[in-house]
Amino acid sequence: MKMNDYINDFTNQLKDAMEIGSAAQLKKSNKTFKNVLICGLGGSGIGGTIVNDVLSSGVSIPILATKDYSIPNFVDDSTLVIASSYSGNTEETLYALEKCIKKNAEVCIITSGGKLKNLAEENNFNHIIIPGEQPPRAMFGYAFTELFYVLTHYGIIDEAFKADFEKAINLLDAEKADIQSQAKDLAKKMYQQTPVIYVAQGFEGVAVRFRQQINENSKMLCWHHVIPEMNHNELLGWRTNVENLAVVYFRNKLDFDRNQVRMDINKKVISKYTSNISEVWSKGDSVIENTLYHINLGDWISWYLSEMNNVDAIEIDVINYLKEELAKI
């Protein structure tokens, strides 16, 4: 399969992931949790970042995503730890999980196999197995969706997310042609440019996912920032005319009203220095719908850019080289 085949199959991924989550046999826990830690990196870890964005205003305990060997000092037996690694062999996640286990945290694992699956089976940890042997970033729909089922199982959230997922699936199917058309147009504006992505607080995970897809699929550099924080620093960097930057605002009608005003003013400032500015509004009535809309759009942009750049979207040779060098030490 090519990367565009995976992107085209995104809603089927989400449907399949919901079936897997509904059928998961997870043991009950009598613990009262004070916090949640999601361990994961890359295509597996981005789900934790986005879940934090989606749920932060609706849960009563903090949810933190970590992308490192280390773990926060607060982790203890009242922490729910979700380890997400598509391959099951992500070095940093395994290190972090080992530390969480030593602190007697409640552990649940999302993986397709590898060492994590073995660890789950050997220790009788709750776990959800997703389809394997594919590029992790191309299977985002699985790991992301299962996080909601795990959080529901442990009583962190209720099942309301299911209706939003179903609406998002219907939305993406209905808007498929328009999303691809938008993506082609935006890719043309980003071709041979460095994309600069701006989002409002609450949707940073969308920007991070897009940046990662531009890096991995399109083999390009990219950066992002979040409003309002960007207004207190990066805005001052716009001082001279630039010819090699493509600015894109990912916007949502659910963005906080003051941040929407800030974005409008931002555009006025930045337009003095570049004319390559685009604005993309998500569709849907929920944060989940808005998020998945932008993610699907961003994935398609990264694919079209890979075609324009004449690169293999799936190839990750330099990452494999890094892992091989690390294995020698």
Q: Write out the catalytic residue numbers.
A: 216, 232, 323
76, two tokens: 């203890």
From the centroid of its chain, how far is CA 241? 32
How many CA within 13 A on the CB side of residue 88? 22
Mark 40-66 as b/e (b = at least 16 C-beta within 10 Å). bbbbbbbbbbbbbbbbeeeeeeebbbb
| Other C-beta atoms lying within 10 Å of the C-beta of residue 134 | 15
Phi, psi torsion values for 69, nearest 5 degrees:
-75, -25
CA angle at 128 for the pair 122 and 133, rounded to the nearest 5°: 95
Q: Cβ distance 285 to 167 under 8 Å? A: yes
Strand partners of residue 246 = 195
Q: Among candidates 220, 311, 292, which has minimal Cα distance to 250?
A: 292
> Rounded CA gap, 67 and 44, in Å?
10
Contacts of 219 (CB under 8 A, 6+ apart): 306, 309, 311
What whole-number distance in Å separates Cα of residue 87 and Cα of residue 41?
11
- Kindly compute the dihedral angle of the four CA atoms of residues 167, 23, 97, 203, in this order, to the nearest 10 degrees: 0
